[in-house]
Amino acid sequence: MTKLADWLRAETSDQDLTGVMISMAAAGAEIAAVLRQAPIAGQTGLAGSDNVQGEAQKALDVISNDIVLNHLRASPAVSILVSEELDEAVDLSSQGRLIVATDPLDGSSNLDVNVTVGTIFSILPSDGGLLQTGQAQLAAGYVAYGPATSLVVRISGATSVFTLDDTGEWVLTVNRAAVPVASGEFAINTARERFWDAATKGYVRESVEGETGAAGKRYNMRWVGSMVADVHRILMRGGIFLYPLDSETISKGGRLRLLYEANPMAWLIEGAGGRSSTGKQGILDVVPTDIHQRVPVILGSAEEVARIEAWYAKS
């Protein structure tokens, strides 16, 4: 059995990076423990709601953000934390070589129905500043709080998967994940169809036509509504995830955030042989102009990403 610390030792000699990965893994294990008890503690609702004792509760988004912040405060390697939960970047250690960007609890609208949510993170070199492309990432990962708690990480090489055991240890369960090149499964919120652009409409219509259409094969559809759960399914068995630019999100640049949702997920999927795109360029090449910038997200099996890119090229 390979434990996270052993894997990290083999993967990198950078002690700072190792320390931050261990801190994020510890934060994930702590958040997992909080989530397991959340319905009993009355913590699945919005901030300002009460628990069974009638006490006001903090939202789990805020609790998760505090857990990540506390773990990273103890890590002298981190200079700055960018979080979906915090308007401004937080200065941590002035000596720190690394920036962490995180969505501490993604998919939190699924919390009150006990559906998988996750923590996403990206690690960048401090000397590149806050607005670096995804190509500059030194490491990335996510924790998926599902039936099992999974930690998916990449440093320089391939993307691998760990599982939290009942002693609190992260154990390697998939060494070098491989996203199948071809797939017959797509994930998109089809309730947004009326807002879609021509490329998205074309791609989805062709998929739904199945073996009778131009794609020439049958497709199935899945949409959890938690990016972490949808991406994890795609990492493990292939498929494509789409949150494209549409007429409603166009003014904001998209729905999902570049620094702590799109970039780490794109880098992890690419580390497993998949592809990522905005439709028009690689996600990892998008130059950020704001820490909370949004971006269109398409990622997954290489053949499917190429198929929607072809729709963008002709529309």
Of residues 98 and 105, the one with the C-beta less far from Mg ion: 105
Contact criterion met (CB below 8 Å) for 95 and 75: no
Q: Report the site for ligand AHM in 71-130 (rule: CB under 6 A).
A: 84, 103, 106-108
Q: Does 230 bind Mg ion (CB under 5 A)?
A: no
Q: Rounded to whole angstroms, how far apart are CA atoms 141 and 106? A: 13
Name residue 139's beta-bridge partners.
123
**Residue 106 or 185: which CB sits closer to Mg ion?**
106
- Which residue number, 139 or 227, has a Cβ lying nearer to ligand AHM? 227
Residue whose CB is less far from ligand AHM, 215 or 291: 291
CA dist 96 and 127 (Å) reads 10
Residue 225 near which of Mg ion, ligand AHM, none (CB within 5-8 Å, type-dependent): ligand AHM
Q: Which does 226 bind (CB under 5 to 8 A by kind): ligand AHM, Mg ion, none?
A: ligand AHM
Classify 142 as helix, strand or coil: strand
Strand order in the sheet with 275-277: 220-221, 185-187, 240-243, 297-300, 275-277
Residue 246 interacts with Mg ion (CB under 5 A): yes or no = no
List phi, psi (to 5°) of 91. -75, 130
Using the Cα atoms of residue 164, residue 170, residue 174 and residue 177 in order, give the sign of their dihedral.
positive
Contact positions with Mg ion (CB under 5 A) in 59-118: 103, 106
Would you count residue 246 as binding ligand AHM (CB under 6 A)? Answer: no
Out of Mg ion, ligand AHM, none, which partner does residue 44 contact, by CB within 5 to 8 A per kind?
Answer: none
Closer of 17 and 143 to ligand AHM (Cβ): 143
Which residues 6+ apart lie within 8 Å of 304 measured at CB? 182, 183, 186, 239, 240
Residues within the interface to ligand AHM (CB under 6 A): 84, 103, 106-108, 189, 225-227
Residues within the interface to Mg ion (CB under 5 A): 103, 106
